[in-house]
Structures are given as structure tokens and as C-alpha cells.
Amino acid sequence: MEFRQLSVPGAWEITPKQFGDPRGVFLEWFKGAPFAEEAGHALALAQANLSVSAAGVLRGIHFADVPPGQAKYVTCARGAVLDVVVDIRVGSPTYGQWDSVLLDDVDRRAIYLSEGLGHAFLSLEDDSTVLYLCSAPYAPGREHGIHPLDPEIGIDWPTTARDGSPLQYELSEKDSVAPTLAEALQSGLLPSANEVAEFVAGLR
């Protein structure tokens, strides 16, 4: 299992070692000890989610109030998605920046996003199946969103599916009316870098 820190601090790409034979493939997509060594703390598992998305479905940018936030360890068991992390921590040196990892059923990578980061993904194939390990349960009153097509953030979303066909983005009603990053900042929705750093330090 290899960890690569992304350009947004607090996020990692994880590449597992796969073992294949004529029967199929086996891999360990999460291991507690290597994760804790890399992140500096264990992952407290409070909830596990699964989503299935048609090609073109765009989910996010989602985030939760800190504390407690919601860290996510995400992989794609079937199909392919472009998974994106956005730094929404006010006062962070990389505030407003994003990075991405292709999650698919070939390399079977995962991405970890710590508390205080925004998360989104675009499905590149019908029935793309995404699995999430979450550090805190879903709590509607603490959950927020930023529009995934906000030009200020400027995420370079793919325009073609895995099979080369053109993609037409499909957003939920909630995501389609989400505020821009600037609007979320003005309304006081965004976590501060200091608050996030203090919370994550308390996990160690």
C-alpha cells in the first residue's frame, strides 16, 4: 500500500497492492496501521456509505462543520469516478485550491480527505459504485455544499465518459442551488484552518 500526499494538505491518494490469479483479484483497500502512520492518527469509523451513479452524475462539493467534521476514505469498487478534494479552510495557504484522483476498478486506488475539506466526484461510467468510510455519522444540520461548477474554484471536470462518449452533468437539486465559494465564505459556512488544525491535532 502506497500513500501519496496530494497538493491539498490533509488529503492522500492510496494505491493498494493487488493480488490476481485466474479466479479474480484480492486487495486490502484500507489498513489501520499504515493509515495511522501516514495521517498521524487512527481513522475512527462511524459510518460506511455506498453510492451508485450513472455516467455524468456530479456529486458535491460537500463538507461538514468542524468540529466534528467528517473525514472520508473513499474508493470505487466498480466503474470510474474523478474524485476531487477542495481546500475550503479559511486562512489555509492553499485555500480555494483543488486536487483529484481517478478512482476506478483497474488501479483500485482510494483517497482520504481529512476533516474540513470539501469533497466531490464525477461519475465516468454508468453504475459507478463508490464506497466511503466516514469518521462521523451524517448529520443534516451540519452538512453544507458549494457549487461544483463554481468558476472561482475552476475544477477541470472531464467532458467525456470512460467509453469516450460526451458527458452531460447531472446534479441533485440541492447541489444545483449550492452557493459559490465566495458566497459560502460571506455567509460564515466555511471552517477556519486554525479550528481544523486544532481538531485534527486532538485526534493524535
User: Taking CA 132 as the corner, what is the angle to CA 129 and CA 137, rounded to the nearest 5 degrees?
Assistant: 135
Q: Which helix (H) or strand (E) holds 183?
A: helix 181-186
**For the segment 29-56, what is each residue's pLDDT rounded down to a tens digit?**
999 999 999 999 999 999 999 999 999 9
CB 174 within 8 A of CB 59: no
Distances (CA, A) of 18 to 132, 162, 203: 20, 22, 30
CB atoms within 10 A of CB 69: 22
* Residue 132 annotated to the active site: yes
* Chain center to CA of 181: 17
| pLDDT of 204 higher than 90 | no
**For the segment 141-173, what is each residue's pLDDT rounded down to a tens digit?**
999 999 999 999 999 999 999 999 999 999 999
pLDDT at 11: 98
Q: Catalytic residue among 62, 119, 144, 147, which?
A: 62
Considering all CA atoms of the chain, what is the largest pairwise distance in Å, rounded to the nearest integer? 56
Domain 2-192 is classified in which CATH homologous superfamily? Jelly Rolls (2.60.120.10)
CB atoms within 10 A of CB 11: 26
- Beta-bridge partner residues of 86: 98, 118
| pLDDT of 130 higher than 90 | yes
CB 10 within 8 A of CB 117: yes
* Residue 62 annotated to the active site: yes
Q: Catalytic residue among 119, 132, 147, 169, which?
A: 132
pLDDT at 15: 98
